[in-house]
Amino acid sequence: MGDSPRANATPECLTPRHLQLFGTIVQWFARYELLMQDVMATVAGADAAAVMLLTRSLDFAGKRRVLLDLLRHRPVPLDQFDRIRGYLVIPENLTPLRNDIAHSAWKPGAAATGVQPNWIVRIPPSVRPSRGDAASPESYVEDNEDRIEYTLDDLAQIVESLAGNYALFPAYLREVDLVPGRA
């Protein structure tokens, strides 16, 4: 095995608490996606199941884009459009984390409870860094965007942020009649 990326990314660095928080984050994204599909159905005057079928292959970003395009297409007041877009900013900004949870192996970070996606340090040879020479990885210069590490406290705050924002979102959508009474 040697020095392969898999040798440095072990599930042992992920505690049950990391996995619980990862799962909670993924489930919050699922709830946001279902809520967006409910709004699409209401705005389009369509059956929610039909909208789900039409958008099932889209990820969060795709569903967000479809929802915002549909809201622009329909006579939705600009203030409602802006509020809906505002409620989607938090999950939109956390989409890279959700994608890393779903698609990356993880390795220990510098902090005691820190973890980071394994791709951060082990860039595939086919990817050329924007700063430095791909042929000599030691010349690669990291910036803040490359230093991604999440502690248990960070992940718990992310969960609270998603949950708190979501708690307000369906209430607003019911207030402006863009989702049925349940959500």
Number of domains present in the structure of the chain? 1
Please check whether residue 87 lies inside any domain of the structure.
yes
Please check whether residue 74 lies inside any domain of the structure.
yes
Q: What is the pLDDT of residues 126-179, one digit of tens each?
A: 444 445 555 555 544 444 445 589 999 999 999 999 999 999 999 999 999 999
pTM, full prediction: 0.79
Please check whether residue 168 lies inside any domain of the structure.
yes
CB neighbour list of residue 145: distance below 8 Å, 6 or more residues apart:
none
Please check whether residue 59 lies inside any domain of the structure.
yes
Please check whether residue 159 lies inside any domain of the structure.
yes
Residue spans of beta strands (DSSP E) within 1-130: 106-108, 115-117
β pairing state of 106-108 and 115-117: antiparallel
Please check whether residue 124 lies inside any domain of the structure.
no
Q: What is the pLDDT of residues 54-88, one digit of tens each?
A: 999 999 999 999 999 999 999 899 999 999 999 99
Residue 88 DSSP class: T
CB neighbour list of residue 48: distance below 8 Å, 6 or more residues apart:
37, 38, 41
